[in-house]
Amino acid sequence: MAESHSMIERNENERRSILEKHILGGVDIPCADGIIISSEVVIGAGTQILPGTIITGKTVIGSGCIIGPQSKVESSVIGDDCVLNSTQCENSTIGNRVKAGPFTHIRPGCVIADGVHVGNFVEIKNSAIGADTKISHLSYVGDSDVGSGVNIGCGCATANYDGTHKFRTTIGDKAFIGCDTCLVAPVKVGKGAYTAAGSVVTEDVPDGTMAIARSRQTIKRKVRKYNED
């Protein structure tokens, strides 16, 4: 027990020493609760690290960022003036002025350009996201190349896996992906193109056009309510 207690004390002392080093370098750590930072991590002055945040590997974080609360960054490069709120980011590169979270997962192999907004409950994997693109909520973007100024609506997904092979999706600059769109890779949505909400897109969408891939609504005769006699 004494040995275990001594090890815990050594680890805590080392953790505190690393935090103090960053504070002396201009990093704002208003409360140290639950914050773990590996010795190799580099953080720019003016960045704020909030409670419950874990930063590991050879991570480099720029200046003026807010990381946390409850975020995890592993072996990634984060630019200046970013906000990662309750976000997990692994082995990826993030540009400047990127906002992510809460509850965002950026999986390995992502390159996210300047000014991107990644909202709550969004997962991105092995994808390139162009500048000023918005993926606001409840969407999955995997194995995709997304242009700049794209808007991806709520509940969208790139269906990248057929059970045997993985394929990529390409979305051109300033495209608009309507809510609840499923893009079945391999597929390309052109520049300035639209997809209608609720579409399952299996064929390429040319530049400046709109794809509507859903059945026409029909109204059936009035049906009895389940609680009617």
Residues designated catalytic: 137
CB half-sphere exposure, 121, CA atoms < 13 A: 8
- Which residues partner with 12 through β-bridges? none
Q: Which residue in the block uniquely carries the two structure tokens 């897109």?
A: 201
Report the distance separating Cα 223 and Cα 51, nearest Å. 54
Q: In what order do the strands lie in the sheet with 72-74?
A: 36-37, 54-56, 72-74, 87-90, 104-106, 123-125, 140-142, 157-159, 182-184, 200-201
Report the distance separating Cα 78 and Cα 112, nearest Å. 10
DSSP state of 48: E
